[in-house]
């Protein structure tokens, strides 16, 4: 039995095609992936991201615990700030990538839907093993995923539109800043963040307020509407153009943050699970690095496609698509570090046929 988000009826009413995503029945597409992609780049789209995990940490030592398990130094975070961070295992492999937010009363960790159970187990295991005294810390974790809803509203016209609807000065919110407020006794949190390469916001609200919010934001859907619903299909092509990593593709338990190009999200001066191994990689330099590839022609190099230099396999594609904005075949791939320089000529092995590909600067797309 697949789980339904509080927006399920909204998706069905708008004719979305629903698919199983990490145990949730989610909209993959409403009108067309490219249509929804372009709507996001030109105007605005509403994405249901309620399936993502929302874990609350409260108590005197919550920050200390988070500092043991997260790669970023959360002690430097101020109330009203969110930060991208990683959770690693002892070998420095990535267990999940998360957004950590500090509110007045608690910490919020937003994690991938596919990793939510794993993360909760991981934290429990660390307490049981009393990792660096974790079990002696005074804090509580509660999983708020199913009592709340979350939407991402993304696109160049979103900030103006959302400013009209919410009693919050969204325009003055900094990137990765957030604010908590309420409308008619309904509490909500608005974050200036997203996963599309566009400006926009993400909203967390009580599950029971979701149907009304859906109607308000994109309920009267029609051609030319400022904000239209978009599915997971467009979310994937948008994040790939913006070169944002996706867990299960660019990130997994055997990939370390340095190889993934995420050194900026790791504070190697503090102690956290995995730090020792990650320091070793940072000192020696990664063997393989994540790069952007631009392929000749229209063929797509999908996850698992070997990357070749002459006759030798020198890497592997982690994500690929035909970029709707650039009208080019693009891919993210891990390649041997000495071949990761911009302009390096490589090839994607498409079922035995080498398709020329060159290393290009990331992100593929950057908003004006």
Residues interacting with other proteins, by CB under 8 A? 17, 28-29, 32-34, 233, 237, 298-300, 302, 321-322, 324
Q: How far is the CB of 30 from other proteins (least distance, A)?
A: 11
Nearer to other proteins, 45 or 148 (CB): 45
Q: Name which of 275 and 295 has its Cβ closer to other proteins.
A: 295
**How far, in Å, CA of 30 to CA of 5, rounded?**
16
Which tokens belong to 272? 């956290």
What is the strand order of the sheet 45-48 is part of? 178-183, 186-191, 200-206, 148-154, 45-48, 228-229
Name the residue among 100, 107, 105, 11 with its Cα closest to residue 50. 11
Element (H, E) at 346: strand 345-350
Least distance to other proteins, CB of residue 48, Å: 18
Q: In terms of CB distance, is 197 or 233 closer to other proteins?
A: 233
Distance of CA 217 to the CA centre of its chain: 22
Q: Is the dihedral of CA 107, 175, 113, 16 positive or negative?
A: positive
Return all residues near 215 (Cβ < 8 A) that are at least 6 apart. 10
CA separation for the pair 176, 183 (Å, rounded): 22
- Residues with Cβ within 8 Å of residue 198, at least 6 apart in sequence: 40, 41, 154, 155, 156, 158, 238, 367
For other proteins, which is the closer residue by CB, 84 or 322? 322
Give min distance, CB of 97 to other proteins, in A: 23
**Closer Cβ to other proteins, 37 or 64, answer by number:** 37
As measured in angstroms, the least distance from the Cβ of 361 to other proteins is 23
CB 365, min distance to other proteins, A: 15
* Cβ proximity to other proteins, 206 vs 306, nearer residue: 306
Q: 235: Cβ–Cβ under 8 A, 6 or more apart, which residues?
A: 47, 195, 196
Least distance to other proteins from the beta carbon of 45, Å? 16
Q: How far is the CB of 301 from other proteins (least distance, A)?
A: 11
Between 32 and 341, whose beta carbon lies closer to other proteins?
Answer: 32
């Amino acid at each position: 039995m697949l789980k339904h988000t509080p927006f399920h009826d909204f998706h069905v009413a708008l004719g979305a095609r629903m698919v199983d995503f990490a145990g949730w029945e989610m909209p993959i597409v409403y009108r067309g992936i490219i249509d929804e992609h372009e709507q996001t780049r030109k105007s605005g789209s509403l994405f249901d991201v309620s399936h993502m995990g929302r874990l609350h940490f409260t108590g005197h030592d919550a920050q200390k615990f988070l500092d043991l398990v997260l790669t970023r130094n959360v002690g430097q975070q101020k109330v009203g700030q969110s930060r991208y961070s990683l959770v690693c295992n002892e070998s420095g492999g990535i267990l999940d990538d998360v957004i950590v937010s500090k509110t007045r009363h608690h910490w919020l960790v937003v994690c991938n839907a596919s990793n939510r159970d794993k993360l909760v187990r991981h934290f429990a295991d660390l307490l049981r093993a009393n990792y660096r005294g974790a079990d002696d810390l005074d804090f509580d974790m509660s999983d708020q995923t199913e009592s709340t809803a979350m939407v991402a509203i993304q696109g160049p016209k979103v900030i103006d539109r959302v400013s009209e609807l919410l009693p919050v000065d969204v325009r003055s919110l900094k990137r990765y800043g957030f604010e908590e407020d309420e409308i008619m006794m309904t509490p909500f949190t608005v974050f200036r963040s997203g996963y599309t390469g566009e400006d926009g916001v993400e909203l967390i609200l009580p599950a029971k307020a979701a149907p009304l919010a859906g109607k308000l934001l994109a309920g009267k859907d029609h051609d030319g509407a400022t904000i239209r619903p978009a599915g997971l299909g467009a979310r994937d092509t948008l994040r790939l153009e913006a070169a944002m990593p996706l867990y299960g593709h660019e990130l997994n338990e055997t990939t370390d943050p340095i190889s993934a190009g995420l050194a900026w999200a790791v504070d190697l001066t503090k102690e956290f699970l995995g730090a020792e191994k990650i320091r070793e990689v940072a000192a020696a330099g990664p063997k393989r690095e994540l790069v952007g590839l631009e392929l000749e022609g229209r063929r797509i190099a999908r996850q698992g496609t070997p990357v070749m230099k002459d006759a030798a396999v020198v890497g592997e594609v982690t994500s690929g698509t035909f970029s709707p904005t650039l009208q080019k075949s693009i891919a993210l791939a891990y390649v041997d570090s000495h071949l990761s320089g911009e302009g390096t000529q490589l090839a994607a092995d498409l079922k035995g046929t080498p398709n020329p590909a060159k290393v290009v600067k990331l992100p593929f797309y950057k908003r004006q």
